[in-house]
Amino acid sequence: MNCIIIDDEATARAIIGQLCSNVESLNVLEEFPNAIQAIKYLNQNEIDLIFLDIHMPDFTGFDFIETLKNPPKIILTTSDANFAIQAFEYDCIVDYLVKPITPERFQKAIQKAESKTSVSASSNSEKVETTSGNDLYVNIDRRLIKIDIPSIYLVEAKGDYIHVKTENQNYTVHSTLKKIEDKLPNDLFLKVHRSFIINVDKIIDIEDNSVLIKKDVIPVSRSNRPELMKRLNLL
Protein backbone atom coordinates (compact mmCIF):
# COMPACT_ATOMS: atom_id res chain seq x y z
CA MET A 1 0.00 0.00 0.00
CA ASN A 2 1.29 3.45 -0.93
CA CYS A 3 1.03 5.76 2.08
CA ILE A 4 1.91 9.20 3.43
CA ILE A 5 2.59 10.47 6.95
CA ILE A 6 1.14 13.73 8.29
CA ASP A 7 2.44 14.94 11.66
CA ASP A 8 3.77 18.31 12.81
CA GLU A 9 6.46 16.64 14.94
CA ALA A 10 9.57 15.47 13.09
CA THR A 11 10.32 12.81 15.70
CA ALA A 12 6.82 11.34 15.35
CA ARG A 13 7.17 11.22 11.56
CA ALA A 14 10.51 9.45 11.91
CA ILE A 15 9.07 6.85 14.30
CA ILE A 16 6.09 6.08 12.07
CA GLY A 17 8.39 5.95 9.05
CA GLN A 18 10.59 3.41 10.85
CA LEU A 19 7.55 1.30 11.77
CA CYS A 20 6.44 1.40 8.13
CA SER A 21 9.87 0.30 6.93
CA ASN A 22 9.43 -2.94 8.86
CA VAL A 23 6.23 -3.81 6.97
CA GLU A 24 6.90 -5.14 3.48
CA SER A 25 3.45 -4.19 2.15
CA LEU A 26 3.90 -0.47 2.99
CA ASN A 27 5.54 2.06 0.72
CA VAL A 28 5.92 5.55 2.24
CA LEU A 29 5.80 8.09 -0.60
CA GLU A 30 5.95 11.37 1.33
CA GLU A 31 5.96 12.93 4.81
CA PHE A 32 4.29 16.25 5.65
CA PRO A 33 4.56 18.55 8.72
CA ASN A 34 1.07 19.97 8.15
CA ALA A 35 -2.22 19.13 6.46
CA ILE A 36 -2.11 21.99 3.93
CA GLN A 37 0.96 20.56 2.19
CA ALA A 38 -0.64 17.11 2.19
CA ILE A 39 -3.82 18.42 0.53
CA LYS A 40 -1.79 19.90 -2.32
CA TYR A 41 -0.04 16.56 -2.76
CA LEU A 42 -3.28 14.57 -2.74
CA ASN A 43 -4.78 16.82 -5.41
CA GLN A 44 -2.23 15.37 -7.83
CA ASN A 45 -1.52 11.90 -6.41
CA GLU A 46 -3.51 8.85 -5.36
CA ILE A 47 -2.55 6.85 -2.28
CA ASP A 48 -3.95 3.93 -0.30
CA LEU A 49 -3.32 4.92 3.32
CA ILE A 50 -2.64 7.99 5.46
CA PHE A 51 -1.04 8.06 8.92
CA LEU A 52 -2.62 11.20 10.36
CA ASP A 53 -1.95 13.12 13.57
CA ILE A 54 -5.01 14.77 15.15
CA HIS A 55 -3.44 17.74 16.95
CA MET A 56 -1.70 20.04 14.49
CA PRO A 57 -1.46 23.87 14.47
CA ASP A 58 -4.30 25.69 12.66
CA PHE A 59 -5.64 22.60 10.87
CA THR A 60 -6.55 19.48 12.88
CA GLY A 61 -6.63 15.94 11.55
CA PHE A 62 -10.43 15.97 11.52
CA ASP A 63 -10.45 19.29 9.63
CA PHE A 64 -8.17 17.66 7.08
CA ILE A 65 -10.48 14.67 6.61
CA GLU A 66 -13.43 16.98 6.01
CA THR A 67 -11.63 18.51 3.01
CA LEU A 68 -11.26 15.16 1.21
CA LYS A 69 -14.01 14.15 -1.21
CA ASN A 70 -12.90 10.53 -1.52
CA PRO A 71 -10.52 9.90 1.39
CA PRO A 72 -8.28 6.82 1.36
CA LYS A 73 -7.95 4.62 4.42
CA ILE A 74 -6.71 6.58 7.43
CA ILE A 75 -4.95 5.47 10.61
CA LEU A 76 -5.02 8.18 13.27
CA THR A 77 -1.89 8.67 15.35
CA THR A 78 -2.21 10.80 18.46
CA SER A 79 -1.13 11.29 22.05
CA ASP A 80 -4.76 11.95 23.04
CA ALA A 81 -7.09 9.00 23.59
CA ASN A 82 -10.15 11.23 24.04
CA PHE A 83 -11.11 11.42 20.37
CA ALA A 84 -11.74 7.71 19.78
CA ILE A 85 -15.54 8.12 19.78
CA GLN A 86 -15.36 11.03 17.34
CA ALA A 87 -13.20 8.89 15.06
CA PHE A 88 -16.17 6.51 14.64
CA GLU A 89 -17.91 9.27 12.70
CA TYR A 90 -15.64 8.70 9.70
CA ASP A 91 -15.91 5.60 7.52
CA CYS A 92 -12.39 6.10 6.18
CA ILE A 93 -10.73 5.72 9.60
CA VAL A 94 -9.64 2.12 10.06
CA ASP A 95 -7.78 2.44 13.39
CA TYR A 96 -6.78 4.80 16.20
CA LEU A 97 -3.21 4.56 17.51
CA VAL A 98 -2.22 6.25 20.75
CA LYS A 99 1.43 7.32 21.05
CA PRO A 100 3.85 5.85 21.94
CA ILE A 101 3.00 3.25 19.30
CA THR A 102 4.34 -0.26 19.80
CA PRO A 103 5.34 -2.43 16.80
CA GLU A 104 2.71 -5.01 17.79
CA ARG A 105 -0.11 -2.47 17.91
CA PHE A 106 1.10 -0.91 14.66
CA GLN A 107 1.00 -4.30 12.93
CA LYS A 108 -2.61 -4.83 14.05
CA ALA A 109 -3.58 -1.50 12.52
CA ILE A 110 -1.98 -2.47 9.21
CA GLN A 111 -3.84 -5.78 9.26
CA LYS A 112 -7.11 -3.87 9.69
CA ALA A 113 -6.28 -1.65 6.73
CA GLU A 114 -5.38 -4.63 4.56
CA SER A 115 -8.49 -6.53 5.70
CA LYS A 116 -10.74 -3.64 4.69
CA THR A 117 -9.20 -3.68 1.24
CA SER A 118 -9.70 -7.43 0.74
CA VAL A 119 -13.31 -7.39 1.98
CA SER A 120 -14.22 -4.60 -0.41
CA ALA A 121 -12.61 -6.36 -3.37
CA SER A 122 -14.32 -9.69 -2.71
CA SER A 123 -17.80 -8.20 -2.27
CA ASN A 124 -18.14 -6.21 -5.47
CA SER A 125 -21.03 -8.30 -6.83
CA GLU A 126 -23.30 -8.10 -3.80
CA LYS A 127 -26.24 -5.66 -3.81
CA VAL A 128 -29.38 -5.11 -1.80
CA GLU A 129 -32.28 -5.89 -4.13
CA THR A 130 -35.67 -5.96 -2.46
CA THR A 131 -37.74 -6.87 0.55
CA SER A 132 -40.79 -9.07 0.87
CA GLY A 133 -42.62 -9.34 4.18
CA ASN A 134 -40.04 -10.33 6.80
CA ASP A 135 -37.39 -11.10 4.20
CA LEU A 136 -34.59 -9.04 2.70
CA TYR A 137 -33.01 -10.24 -0.54
CA VAL A 138 -29.42 -9.53 -1.57
CA ASN A 139 -27.90 -10.28 -4.94
CA ILE A 140 -24.74 -12.32 -4.43
CA ASP A 141 -22.96 -13.64 -7.53
CA ARG A 142 -26.21 -13.44 -9.54
CA ARG A 143 -28.13 -15.35 -6.86
CA LEU A 144 -30.84 -13.82 -4.70
CA ILE A 145 -30.09 -14.74 -1.09
CA LYS A 146 -32.93 -14.39 1.40
CA ILE A 147 -32.21 -12.90 4.83
CA ASP A 148 -34.73 -13.09 7.64
CA ILE A 149 -35.12 -9.45 8.70
CA PRO A 150 -35.77 -10.09 12.43
CA SER A 151 -32.50 -12.07 12.57
CA ILE A 152 -30.51 -8.95 11.61
CA TYR A 153 -29.05 -7.31 14.69
CA LEU A 154 -26.62 -4.81 13.17
CA VAL A 155 -25.93 -3.02 9.89
CA GLU A 156 -22.63 -1.17 9.58
CA ALA A 157 -21.51 1.14 6.76
CA LYS A 158 -17.92 0.85 5.55
CA GLY A 159 -17.28 3.21 2.67
CA ASP A 160 -19.19 1.95 -0.38
CA TYR A 161 -20.17 -1.27 1.42
CA ILE A 162 -22.41 -2.32 4.27
CA HIS A 163 -21.97 -5.24 6.66
CA VAL A 164 -25.23 -6.99 7.55
CA LYS A 165 -24.82 -9.06 10.71
CA THR A 166 -27.41 -11.73 11.53
CA GLU A 167 -27.84 -14.44 14.14
CA ASN A 168 -26.42 -17.08 11.79
CA GLN A 169 -24.32 -15.36 9.14
CA ASN A 170 -22.81 -12.03 8.08
CA TYR A 171 -22.98 -10.45 4.62
CA THR A 172 -20.90 -7.74 2.97
CA VAL A 173 -22.96 -5.88 0.39
CA HIS A 174 -22.13 -3.16 -2.13
CA SER A 175 -24.77 -0.61 -1.17
CA THR A 176 -25.47 2.40 1.03
CA LEU A 177 -26.79 2.62 4.56
CA LYS A 178 -29.62 4.81 3.34
CA LYS A 179 -30.80 2.22 0.85
CA ILE A 180 -31.01 -0.59 3.37
CA GLU A 181 -32.49 1.74 6.00
CA ASP A 182 -35.42 2.38 3.66
CA LYS A 183 -36.05 -1.37 3.40
CA LEU A 184 -36.00 -2.18 7.12
CA PRO A 185 -39.10 -1.79 9.34
CA ASN A 186 -38.99 1.40 11.41
CA ASP A 187 -40.57 -0.26 14.44
CA LEU A 188 -37.66 -2.71 14.74
CA PHE A 189 -34.60 -0.86 13.46
CA LEU A 190 -33.06 2.48 14.31
CA LYS A 191 -30.14 4.41 12.89
CA VAL A 192 -28.12 5.41 15.97
CA HIS A 193 -25.06 6.75 14.16
CA ARG A 194 -24.11 7.81 10.66
CA SER A 195 -22.49 4.38 10.18
CA PHE A 196 -24.76 2.07 12.21
CA ILE A 197 -28.32 0.76 12.21
CA ILE A 198 -29.31 -1.50 15.09
CA ASN A 199 -32.15 -3.89 15.85
CA VAL A 200 -33.54 -2.30 19.02
CA ASP A 201 -34.85 -5.67 20.28
CA LYS A 202 -31.28 -7.02 20.31
CA ILE A 203 -29.84 -4.42 22.70
CA ILE A 204 -28.13 -5.99 25.70
CA ASP A 205 -26.83 -2.93 27.51
CA ILE A 206 -26.62 0.87 27.17
CA GLU A 207 -23.86 2.94 28.71
CA ASP A 208 -23.25 6.64 28.08
CA ASN A 209 -23.11 7.09 24.30
CA SER A 210 -22.87 3.44 23.27
CA VAL A 211 -24.98 0.29 23.11
CA LEU A 212 -23.96 -3.35 23.39
CA ILE A 213 -25.43 -5.79 20.86
CA LYS A 214 -24.01 -9.31 20.91
CA LYS A 215 -20.29 -8.57 21.30
CA ASP A 216 -20.42 -5.31 19.34
CA VAL A 217 -20.16 -1.96 21.11
CA ILE A 218 -21.91 0.59 18.90
CA PRO A 219 -21.51 4.39 19.28
CA VAL A 220 -24.69 6.46 19.56
CA SER A 221 -24.55 10.00 18.23
CA ARG A 222 -26.01 12.86 20.24
CA SER A 223 -28.65 13.58 17.62
CA ASN A 224 -29.91 9.97 17.59
CA ARG A 225 -29.84 9.31 21.33
CA PRO A 226 -33.23 10.97 22.11
CA GLU A 227 -35.03 8.74 19.60
CA LEU A 228 -33.30 5.67 21.01
CA MET A 229 -34.44 6.53 24.52
CA LYS A 230 -38.02 6.93 23.28
CA ARG A 231 -37.92 3.41 21.89
CA LEU A 232 -36.91 1.84 25.20
CA ASN A 233 -39.42 0.48 27.69
CA LEU A 234 -38.07 2.40 30.68
CA LEU A 235 -39.21 1.99 34.29
CATH number, residue 116: 3.40.50.2300
Handedness of CA 165, 175, 87, 52 (dihedral sign): positive
> Which of 122, 149, 184 lies at the terminal end of a domain, its last residue?
122
Bridge-based pairing state of the strands 49-53 and 2-6: parallel
The residue segments making up the domain with residue 195 are 127-231
Predicted pLDDT of residue 136: 86
Question: Residue 152 is part of a domain; what is its CATH number?
Answer: 2.40.50.1020
Q: Determine the pLDDT at residue 141.
A: 62
Cα 166 from Cα 188, distance rounded (Å): 14
pLDDT values of the chain reduced to their tens digit, one per residue, 235 residues: 999 999 999 999 999 999 999 999 999 999 999 999 999 999 889 899 999 999 888 788 988 998 888 889 999 999 888 887 778 778 889 999 999 999 999 999 999 898 865 444 444 444 555 555 678 887 666 667 889 999 999 999 987 788 899 988 888 888 888 888 888 998 899 999 999 999 999 999 998 889 999 889 999 998 889 999 888 877 5
Nearest to 137 by CA among 148, 149, 145: 145
- Our count of domains for the chain comes to 2
Q: State which of 91, 122, 153 marks the end of a domain.
A: 122
Decide which of 107, 122, 137 is a domain's last residue: 122
Tell me the torsion sign for CA atoms 9, 11, 17, 19.
negative
Same domain, 210 and 151: yes
- Is omega for the bond preceding 72 within 30 degrees of 0, making it cis? no
Q: What is the pLDDT of residue 100?
A: 93
Residues 174 and 116 in one domain: no
